[in-house]
Amino acid sequence: MIALKLGVTANDVKNVIIWGNHSSTQYPDVNHAKVKLQGKEVGVYEALKDDNWLKGEFVTTVQQRGAAVIKARKLSSAMSAAKAICDHVRDIWFGTPEGEFVSMGVISDGNSYGVPDDLLYSFPVVIKNKTWKFVEGLPVNDFSREKMDLTAKELTEEKETAFEFLSSA
């Protein structure tokens, strides 16, 4: 969406973060994203100059993309999931380029972003030698904090529901 809006290829956009759950609470964060425009790398916020779109339509469209794929295809969004799996395998195998990171659902233990431990939560990670590490120290503004906490709350509730189900089985 960012590439289309800026008239560049998807390869010209990097370091977009998806925080949290794979649900309608996931949070696409471009606060640390970069885009290559006319040979120069700039921040996405600086390039777009449209906070309302980035905090509104962009976020909600990404959050609803699974449902949109199903509606458009009148079929499962399994191919979208398969593509994501292939991308993850590629990233694990080859690593992330220097200065770039990817978002990946990993166990939250030891993160520095205030997400509770024991959740499978999407974070920005770098991968080297087939091992992922959290990207540390990215500033989180109030808007992002609210979105990140909401998706963590949902995951915590889902985990509790799953444990209740398992303990009664």
Residue matched to tokens 């990993």: 106
DSSP alpha helix (H) spans, 9-104 = 44-48, 51-55, 57-63, 65-73, 78-94
Residue 53 structure tokens: 């779109």
| Alpha-carbon distances of 91 from 15, 84, 128, rounded to whole Å | 13, 10, 9
Q: Domains in the chain, start-ordered, CATH in brackets?
A: 1-168 (3.90.110.10)
Handedness of CA 126, 46, 8, 78 (dihedral sign): positive
2-47 pLDDT, tens digit each: 999 999 999 999 999 999 998 999 999 999 999 999 999 999 999 9
Work out the burial of residue 160: count CB atoms within 10 Å of its CB; fewer than 13 is exposed, 13-18 middle, 19 or more buried: exposed
Asked if residue 105 lies in contact with residue 122, where contact means CB atoms within 8 angstroms, the answer is: yes
The pTM assigned to this predicted structure is: 0.91
Options 22, 36, 65, 133, the catalytic residue: 22
| 22 is a catalytic site residue | yes
**What's the average model confidence in pLDDT over 126-141?**
97
